[in-house]
Structure 1
Amino acid sequence: MRRSILTAALAAAPLALFAATPLNAHNHDHDDDRDGAQAADDPGLEVSEERLRADMDTIVGFGTRHTLSSQTDPERGIGAAVDWALAEFGRIGAECGGCLDVMPVGRVVEADGRRIPEPTLIRNAVAIQRGTERPDEVIIVQAHYDSRVTDAMNATDDAPGANDDGSGSVMVLEAARILSQREYPSTIIYALLTGEEQGLYGAGILADSVAEQGMTVKAVLNNDMIGNSCGSDGFCDAEHVRVFSEGLRADSTPQLRAAQRRFGGENDSPGRNLSRWLNSVAEDFPDGMQVRQIWRTDRMGRGGDQIPFLDRGYPAVRVTVAVEDYEHQHQDLRVEDGITYGDTVDELDFDYLTRSSVLNVRALDRLASAPMPPQVTADAAVRTDTLVEWQGVEGATTYLVVKRRTDESDWRWDEAAILSFETPVGDDPTPMAGRELTYTAPLRGDDWIFGVASCSFGPVCSPVSSAVPGGAFYPLEGDSED
């Protein structure tokens, strides 16, 4: 398993200034004690199918969660649904001694001439678990809470929205229950968004709020439909979720595109590397849910709540079912020609939903523990080697320099260079955060893509940041390369 390789190798890495050690699976023994401790501390094992079922019954019980439905009815409609979610986040926060800041994040959206016919309150239910060391460094796990039937403007008929996206919503609540019992260096934001079906409004509001507060977004995991395993054609895949990631950055500029033509980077956006990283997390647990990477922003001709974050330059991916069931998505509840239509609870695969939730919880646990990916550059012009440079990040004690051929899809982790950049101070090493760090690879850069992951003690490593224009996990205005 990849984590076993990294764990054993990093445990053996010397804490010497500018020391470089090749990572090779054949040179390090499997550490059974360490792996056993990690398994015992696996938060994914705490995911409860029973709680997921109970939450699902509650939220479909609001009849409809359409964004244009009642804001004031205490039992039916989006207002009641959001009020319950806020109260549930409050109960979860009370269980951890008030560790969650719970709030409705929203605003009134003006009529858009499309799916918002009049000024409408878009209200998200948000809970923030502040990081203990780097509270402005955030991971967002989100799902859209609103639902719909065939007519996107029908706000009155029953719209259970069990899979789309009650499944993602109950996962977010379950993640909050489990992870709020732990402390992390980085902040986790749990978000149930509304307005998705009317134009991704809730996600845009949250993305703007994060930007206004000056937060650094490490990753956005948008979970939209993670609860069924069979498609409309009868094809089933209960072993995978799809992870969609953009190629060229949505916040690209003419200057960036020109730089990418000269130096590469067409397949190395932060979202693409976040997708690769999620795949590696899944591979660490071969009996669990696996990832099938889809290298496009979203499904053909469609979109989701990761897009407003991508538009603002934040690393984001969509996590969704391996195959879609169109008869139970965006449909009026009915039986027609012997076919039952509608997004109802009885069409869910709760084992699949549970395993999808486990993957999310494991990924969030690691993301909130790991440092930020560094900003990386590579210089290989008219030379037979490649100079890789990056700036040290807070919380990192070790870095992995990885590579892949330009036509390869994934990083060569088993050939990573392990570098510790630390200055001993008494018995405690002090990471060189903010310092310019370098590594010279004895390879011609024309033929290779390089990247760097930052790791904390544990070890827990970030996604890789590619040494290409636009590869940094920051909006472009914060990327000194561009």
Structure 2
Amino acid sequence: MHPVLKTLSILLLAGAGARVVQAAPPADAPLPARQAEIDAIVREISPQRIQAYVEKLAGFGTRHTMSETESDTRGIGAARRWIKAELERCGAGRLDVQFQSHVHPVAPRIPRPTEIVNVVATLPGTQAASKDRYYVVSGHYDSRVTDVMNATADAPGADDDASGTAAVIEMACVMARHTFDASLVFMTVAAEEQGLYGSGDYAAKAKAAGVNIAGMLNNDIIGSAHDEHGKLDNAEVRLFAEGVPPVKETTPALRTLLQTGGENDSITRQLARHVKETGERYVPGFKVNIVYRRDRYLRGGDHSPFLDAGYAAVRFTEPHEDFDHQHQDLRTEHGKRIGDLPEYVDPDYVAQVARVNAASLASLALAPTAPRDVKVRTANLDNGTDLVWAPNTEPDLAGYRIVWRETTAPQWQGAQFVGNVTAYRLDLSKDNLLFGVQAVDKDGNVSPATYPVPAR
């Protein structure tokens, strides 16, 4: 018997026919199995290639959205053609690389109608039941200086956001050599600095077409391992994850989430938990700090349009931003160089963030989809919890895993594999704990959790 299946069978036998009677979640709840293929992907991420990508992007002088488009050596046109060519080269025969563009009308930061061009590389999934489920990872390749309308001054944009763009290119090139059940989209977008117009166009078109984007990871400003005082901090990254969306009108689904105390169990928070657990497992010693906000205080990024479209989306950002090396005219003040230059980017740190991304994407794309229609039966008053859900359709499904935590705990604390069933009862109180249901395949890949709603 496959060792993962043997482990799952042991867990099932321990739980089947008996109820979970512990008053508190166990500290040693079984984790999903570690996958050799994901380990290999993580090992293949190269800081040297990332550094070369950052230097190449900075070498285009400026990548301002309204900069030069005809030159082969300077401006955003040269940058996007190079990105497309590099993705085509490294993903030959595996990646479908396309320009996705639209002409944006005049806007506060767009003084004339301007073509906004994203570079989109898709790695199609290989499982019929999963290939129409997509996971998107992005970085923005445009840059700016102090004056956001200055399209001619040198704007190397090394940290913001050649670092994120380089990570996406590196992930695409590495992961194109592997196969996944679900589809992956590696995307570098333009016009982030002018108003999130590249990502906004992609998200709007995906929503209108009914594309099943099950998760989106945005990498923006992931290049610096030092704070503004020069202190090294290279063992952690921030992951911004929205809870309750700032909608004008509360939807029935959102109202149910609030009524049941699920403010921290939105699809985005579930994605963040999965990324943290997976990333820290495959990149030991590197911490993913989930920040319970859409983005930095009153700021935004390319995941925001995906959130607005109803998709789960998170943002990676270095732990401390140094604003002397971001959105700045190049200059020297009091002997200090100011500007977003490659010399201030640490490729080893970018590689660590890329490894967390890659491990998370691989885990998500290999795992089954998160269970649907998960509900808590509420017909009878009792101190247990009866969960039901719709069956998954993947042919390699092994069963389901129920997870739980205290209402004040950020991460799952307890877990039990319950087999290939669509209902299960736990002698743990729905009054005192929060629950989720995950799908598990025969290799031990585990989906994000789905928060249960009341069965009326």
TM-score (norm 2): 0.90
Q: 91, 112, 115: which is aligned to 1:118?
A: 112
For the residues of structure 2 that align with 1:16 and 1:406, how far apart are their CA atoms?
Answer: 26
Counterpart residue type for residue 82 of structure 1: R
* Mapping for residues 43-442 of structure 1, pairs under 5 Å: 43-94=41-92, 98-112=93-107, 114-133=108-127, 134-250=130-246, 253-285=250-282, 287-375=284-372, 376-380=374-378, 382-395=381-394, 396-412=397-413, 415-421=414-420, 437-442=422-427
For the residues of structure 2 that align with 1:239 and 1:189, how far apart are their CA atoms?
Answer: 27
Change (3 A) 1:19 1:171: farther
For the residues of structure 1 that align with 2:284 and 2:177, how far apart are their CA atoms?
Answer: 25
Deviation sequence 1:434-458 (CA, Å, 0-9, x none): xxx2112212212111101111121
Counterpart residue type for residue 124 of structure 1: N
Change (3 A) 1:389 1:294: same
Shift of 1:39: 7.6
Change (3 A) 1:6 1:348: farther
CA contact (8 A) 2:138 2:168 kept: yes
Corresponding residue SS for 2:340: coil
Counterpart residue type for residue 462 of structure 1: S
Deviation sequence 1:39-69 (CA, Å, 0-9, x none): 8952100011121122112111111111111
Shift of 1:373: 0.9
Corresponding residue SS for 2:142: coil
Change (3 A) 1:333 1:174: same
Change (3 A) 1:184 1:285: closer
User: 2:445 matched to which residue of 1?
Assistant: 460
Shift of 1:90: 1.1
Shift of 1:293: 1.1
CA contact (8 A) 2:42 2:282 kept: no
Greater mean deviation of Cα atoms: 191-200 or 260-269: 260-269
Change (3 A) 1:91 1:58: same
Shift of 1:394: 2.6
For the residues of structure 2 that align with 1:185 and 1:43, how far apart are their CA atoms?
Answer: 16
Greater mean deviation of Cα atoms: 324-333 or 254-263: 254-263
Deviation sequence 1:348-368 (CA, Å, 0-9, x none): 112111211121111111111
Change (3 A) 1:295 1:43: same
User: 1:434 matched to which residue of 2?
Assistant: none
Change (3 A) 1:39 1:290: farther
For the residues of structure 2 that align with 1:19 and 1:246, how far apart are their CA atoms?
Answer: 39
Change (3 A) 1:13 1:211: same
Considering only aligned residues, what root-mean-square deviation do their CA atoms show, in Å?
A: 2.8
Change (3 A) 1:374 1:86: same
Corresponding residue SS for 2:91: helix
Deviation sequence 1:362-392 (CA, Å, 0-9, x none): 1111111011111322234733222212212
User: 2:436 matched to which residue of 1?
Assistant: 451
CA contact (8 A) 2:163 2:222 kept: yes
Change (3 A) 1:448 1:92: same
Corresponding residue SS for 1:221: strand
For the residues of structure 1 that align with 2:254 and 2:210, how far apart are their CA atoms?
Answer: 26
For the residues of structure 2 that align with 1:345 and 1:117, how far apart are their CA atoms?
Answer: 29
Q: Paired residues, what number?
A: 443
Counterpart residue type for residue 229 of structure 2: D
For the residues of structure 1 that align with 2:225 and 2:101, how far apart are their CA atoms?
Answer: 33
Change (3 A) 1:241 1:8: farther
CA contact (8 A) 1:249 1:313 kept: no
Corresponding residue SS for 1:149: coil
Shift of 1:267: 1.1
Greater mean deviation of Cα atoms: 250-259 or 263-272: 250-259
CA contact (8 A) 1:250 1:313 kept: no
Aligned identity (percent) is 38
CA contact (8 A) 1:19 1:421 kept: no
Shift of 1:27: 9.5
Shift of 1:300: 0.7
Change (3 A) 1:372 1:384: same
User: 1:425 matched to which residue of 2?
Assistant: none
Deviation sequence 1:286-305 (CA, Å, 0-9, x none): 63422011111100121100
Greater mean deviation of Cα atoms: 19-28 or 400-409: 19-28
Corresponding residue SS for 1:454: strand
Counterpart residue type for residue 309 of structure 1: F
CA contact (8 A) 2:29 2:415 kept: no
Moved over 6 A (4+): 5-8, 15-28
For the residues of structure 2 that align with 1:139 and 1:160, how far apart are their CA atoms?
Answer: 29
Deviation sequence 1:379-422 (CA, Å, 0-9, x none): 3473322221221223232211111121221111xx31212217
Change (3 A) 1:115 1:70: same
